[in-house]
Amino acid sequence: RHVADFQLSIASVTEDSSSNCLAQDLQLRAQKLAERLRCDAVVSEISAGQGTVNFTINRELLAKTVLQQVLKDGSEYGVKSELFSTVPRQKVVIEFSSPNIAKKFHIGHLRSTIVGNFIANLKVALGHEVTRINYLGDWGMQFGLLGVGFQQFGDKEKLKSSPLQHLFEVYVQINKAAEDENTKKLAKDFFRKMEEHDEQTLSLWKQFRDFSIEEYIRIYKRLGVHFDEYSGESFYQEKSQEVLKMLEDKGLLQKTTKGTGIVDLSEKKDLSSFSTVMRSDGTSLYITRQFLIVFFRDLAAAIDRMNKHSWDTMIYVTDKSQSNHFQHLFQILKLMGYDWAERCQHVSFGLVQGMKTRRGEVVFLEDVLNEVRSRMLQNMASAKTTKEIEDPMETAEKVGLAALIIQDFRGLLSSDYQFSWDRALQSRGDTGVFLQYTHARLHSLEQMHGSEQLIDVNVACLQEPDAISVLQHLLRYDEVLYRSSQDLQPKHIVSYLLTLSHLAAVAHKTLPVKGSAPELAQARLRLFHAARLVLANGMKLLGITPVTQM
């Protein structure tokens, strides 16, 4: 079946509105136009379709141009396209992951981590200067409780060897006693001392923070994620007071009859929309449910980052339950006179239901990584096609992570979805396992036939429909990157890579390298090499490390 490379819809270029134009009329116009147009060195065929004019590109030119471009640009293929030529290079700050020390690293944090990492990878690939910030929940009353708990149940050795787990256990233990008046008082005293810069309590708090960050870094590394800055709520406890004063000085802070502090966000200044920012007893009010981020600290952090990084865009990646919070945050910054608030962006995502490990509910990120690795190892062991591979543990982890990421990125980020291990880890169908399998298969094809390919391969012989389908698809990669760069949705890249893998799998069957004439074999190898390069590039953008054996 012959598929045209480009199509022009006649309705889109006719003067009169399409409703007056009958299908026959459009058909006639298409035929007339097709007859008047001439082929040239680039366009080899022009024909009329259903109200369209279809153009076919010279097949030799298509093969030569695409394969040359992929080989020449390598990892920058698609990014060097003229689609991006007018895009200004920017400084971008991205805040993502942001777990709370001593609390569960829940599935929302995992989603924030992989989505933020994808956005950062994409921005870097497009030539922007990116700062990745992890804004930890590392301050607040819960540290008073944790401090007291550690004095009672803590173990210095366990804190060093497995800080996240130990602090979580201590926190759970002390929480059982949290209703006890004496414990409450001790916790309040501990936190008050922290706020007053008492050396002893701060030194213990600092150990909690430092050991936790060390372990986070190690676990993020398994995910293929890194941060340029580990910030946190603790950085802004004093600066938030300055923000409060600025709000008061600018007359933006109003008190209700009950003494609650509010900022009027309505256009008519009639309090039809407002944000509560302070309790009547003067303490900051947590107005976000999910990551108890204090409002003033977020304001202070945004202002501080502008002073420090002079960014052009700042992106926050959190779940959609915080949309209101960020809307208010940006509005208040604007009211304070910071016009750059318009360049702040909240990328929100939906909720994931049903992710459990064999041990039950997800408590630590490491639980998820270990689970995905062990399930994948099991699948690999039971698969008949699995060859002996050098490092099965590492391969299982990379393939398993690809499965997690693809299941997460297939739909719109804002959609909620039901998580399923079985569906994610299927080897057939549109999964991360299938992408990894395709990459490994193409890689071994190159290994088998010598990847030191001839310099001057004549690719003009790639005329079969299955070869053309792969070439046409490779040609479209830049458009897909452009779409994802516009709306920051990974799904465009995911569906592109899945289609590429399906097309490559078909071509692998119908276009054998082994047993073909040398010139044809070399041309086909070049085609498969280009497909593997683009597949690998796209996978890396999504945060997946391609494997070469499976």
Q: How far apart are CA 95 and CA 296, in angstroms?
A: 17
Is 3 buried (19+), middle (13-18) or exposed (0-12) by CB count in 10 A?
exposed
Side chain identity at residue 403, one-letter code: A
Q: Which of 72, 91, 109, 255 is catalytic?
A: 109
Q: Are strands 417-418 and 352-353 parallel, antiparallel or unpaired?
A: parallel
How many other C-beta atoms lie within 10 A of the C-beta of residue 509?
9
Q: Are strands 52-57 and 261-264 parallel, antiparallel or unpaired?
A: unpaired
- Looking at the DSSP bridge assignments, the partners of residue 261 are 255, 278
Q: Are 408 and 116 in contact (CB under 8 A)?
A: no
103 is catalytic: yes
Spatial CB neighbours of 281, under 8 Å, sequence gap ≥ 6: none
Buried-exposed string 336-352: b where 16+ CB fall within 10 A, e elsewhere: bebebbebbbbbbbbeb
Residue 313: phi and psi, rounded to 5, are: -140, 135
Start-to-end C-alpha separation, the chain: 34
Q: How far apart are CA 398 and CA 222, in angstroms?
A: 9
106 is catalytic: yes
Alpha helices in 224-364 (DSSP H): 239-249, 295-309, 323-335
Q: How far apart are CA 347 and CA 477, in angstroms?
A: 24
Distances (CA, A) of 278 to 239, 258, 261: 16, 11, 5
Which is nearest to 481 in space by CA: 97, 108, 64, 73? 73
Buried-exposed string 233-246: b where 16+ CB fall within 10 A, e elsewhere: bbbbbebbeebbeb
- 15-24 own/partner pairs: CB under 8 Å, 24+ apart: 23/50, 23/51
State the SS3 of 134-198: EEEECCCHHHHHHHHHHHHHCCHHHHHHCHHHHHHHHHHHHHHCCCCHHHHHHHHHHHHHHHCCC
Q: Are 186 and 148 in contact (CB under 8 A)?
A: yes
User: How distant is the alpha carbon of residue 59 from its chain centre?
Assistant: 36
Q: What is the DSSP string of 8-61?
A: EEGGGG-SS-GGGS-HHHHHHHHHHHHHH----SSEEEEEE-SSEEEEEE-HHH
Residue 228: phi and psi, rounded to 5, are: -85, -20
Q: Are 218 and 227 in contact (CB under 8 A)?
A: no
Q: Which of 2, 72, 91, 103 is catalytic?
A: 103
Q: Which of 2, 104, 106, 269 is catalytic?
A: 106
The set of catalytic residues is 103, 106, 109
